[in-house]
Amino acid sequence: MDGVLIVAKEKGYTSFDAVARLRGIFGQKKIGHLGTLDPEAEGVLPVLLGRATKLADLLSEGTKVYRTVLYLGAETDTQDACGKVFAHHLVTSTEEEVRAAVMSFAGESRQLTPMYSARKVSGRKLVDLARQGIEAERGESEIRIDELEILSIHLPRVTLRVRCSKGTYIRTLCHDIGRKLGCGGLMEELVREESSGFTLREAYPLGVIESMKLTGHLAEAVLPLESILKDYPLRRLKASAEAAAKNGNFLSDGNFANAADDENGSLVRVTAPDGFLIGLFRKEGTKYRPAVMLLPDPAPAKVREPAPSVVSIGKFDGMHVGHRKIFAEMQRQAAEDRLKTVLFAFSDNPMSAGEPRAMLLTSPEKKLMAKDLGMDRLTECPFTDAIRTMSADDFLEKILIGQLGMRSIVAGPDCCFGYKRSGNVEMLRDRADKLGFRLTVIPKEIRCGEVVSSTRIRELIAKGEMEEAEECLGYPYFIRARIGYGEHIGTAIGIPTANQRVPDGKLCPPYGVYVSLLKTDNGEMPAITNIGVKPTAGPGFHLGLETHVLDGEPELYGLMAETKLLHFLRPERKFSDMRELKAEVERNIAEARAFFTERCKK
């Protein structure tokens, strides 16, 4: 397939990861992207397919629009929130001084390329050198910031919208603003809203793109070459000149059926007599020189058959003890019959109107857990209109068997799929012999006298009943997010905390204080966690987690961490002053220590 696909990249994976996944979806190797986005960045990622990859240089020249959060008072080696902190400073600037410093960067300037970037020096990427601790010589680049808008200031955070030229590093802009203010700064968040004229309004999340493939609507997401290049004048060849043009020869006015007086240096679209796009040619004097040839590859990619698999379908929210009985049977069958294990997980459509329901697991959490549980593949399918209206038979034959290679299905007794939930266990049993697949039905799991379900677990968590929720999940409920930067309220009262935000779409327990475990790559640490909006500190704080590790003060900034919530201690409340808050937190720390002492005895 040829054209441009506008991807709405989400947090948690690299631009390279997105391209790799799209190669699997489209079944073709010739795919590239315009403008790298880091794993924690999100937004517009234009992806070029097939012949469109030859337009990379042309399409990458446009401006970019970013929305970013600048955090003042800290500096890292990567100039963003993921790096190692090497300096903390007190922010003493006024809002007026911050505004003046920000706006001084509008217009043309020179910017030093950051070490953590994909640019190359002597054939090696700077980021690879930086990870080896090597500081390379690098020059400054000319950049242009056309628009610089301050959306909000809530110190130490400043939210900006930036329209800039190709090659501008927003993280370096944040770093430079911080340096100018004398307190340091870093890029805490980044969303690319526009890239070379492509906007978020026309972008598709990867899950939706995969859903469109499954339902046969993939081509609808791709902008064809003719649409992308429609602003260039069209020149149709005479039949006698077609071979010469395809061979990359220079052309003249006499070779066109619709010759015109094109300006010198201008680009024109050149098509065969039948309308097939051959390429872009540039007018040079009386001739047209080939600038970008858009001929197809001689050998199309081979379509690979799906590997034989054992499948289960559902939402799998929480991947609780009931789900794990299904997974265990899938793995038993996979080992016995040499099958792949595939989970087909329905999810809310991110492109539909309204707020999606908060879930026990975010998409990145679900992917990690599926991998940890030994599943070979997790296909998340947004509940689009095409999926919703697909008949149960089409879903079974075209998707489960045709695209997932299903040879066996393991299901719960309430399994359903297809239009108006018409597909169920009875239908699967009726079709099994005819379509050549095996059906295994796993009974529901009972815990604490009731059937385990995602709905029941969500209700338990909404009430703060974390122990019973853990019994049903098979693990403590957790919130996974990168440890970021707060307002140093805990440090000011002698109780430092690690700060995290509740990810979008994650079910948040009641605001309050919890006994917790903070898990990083270095292990688990006993802690207490406050979830809420910091009412004692004043208005305007976003919802987040503040976790105090009970023993020691480990360096945690920038790390990805899971905060496991073990036991609810008390609701969040506003105290009269910081001294009263500190006294209460110290009582909570004592309660948490007692909890862990008792836990060790069991």
- 560/481 Cα distance (integer angstroms): 6
Task: Give Cβ neighbours of residue 226 (< 8 Å, ≥ 6 apart).
Answer: 277
What's the rounded Cα separation, in Å, for the pair 584 and 63?
A: 52
Spatial separation of the C-alpha atoms in residues 156 and 336, rounded to whole Å = 58
Non-local (6+) Cβ contacts of 16 within 8 A are none
H or E element at residue 366: helix 363-372
Per-residue exposure over 130-154, b if at least 16 CB sit within 10 Å of its own CB, e if not: beeeeebeeeebebebeebeeeebe
Decide: helix, strand or coil at residue 509.
Answer: coil
Contact 361, 221 (CB under 8 A): no
Q: What are phi and psi of 282, to 5 degrees?
A: -110, 130
167-181 burial, b for 16+ CB within 10 Å, e for fewer? bbbbbbbbbbbbebb
Look at residue 137 and give its three-state secondary structure: coil
Active site includes 77?
no
In whole angstroms, give the CA distance from residue 573 to residue 588.
13
**HSE value, Cβ hemisphere, 13 Å, CA-based, for 510:** 18
Burial class (CB in 10 A: 0-12, 13-18, 19+), 47: buried
Nearest-angstrom CA–CA distance, 207 and 350: 9
Residue labelled with tokens 């004398």: 182
How many Cα atoms sit within 13 Å of 591 on the Cβ side?
17
The Cα–Cα gap between 506 and 494 comes to 30
Distance of alpha carbon 224 from the chain centroid:
25
Residues 379 and 342: beta-carbon distance below 8 Å? yes
CA–CA separation, 341 and 349 (whole Å): 24
- Reading the block at residue 162, the tokens are 């930036």
CB 157 within 8 A of CB 174: no
Structure tokens at 323: 């789900």
- The CA distance from 50 to 29, in Å, is 8
Which residues have a Cβ under 8 Å from the Cβ of 302 and sit 6 or more positions away? none
Alpha helices in 94-133 (DSSP H): 95-103, 126-131
- Tokens representing 312? 């289960």
User: Residue 220 class from Cβ within 10 Å (0-12 exposed, 13-18 middle, 19+ buried)?
Assistant: exposed
Report the distance separating Cα 264 and Cα 115, nearest Å. Answer: 41
Choosing from 2, 38, 80, 176, which is the catalytic residue?
Answer: 38
The residues annotated as belonging to the active site are 38
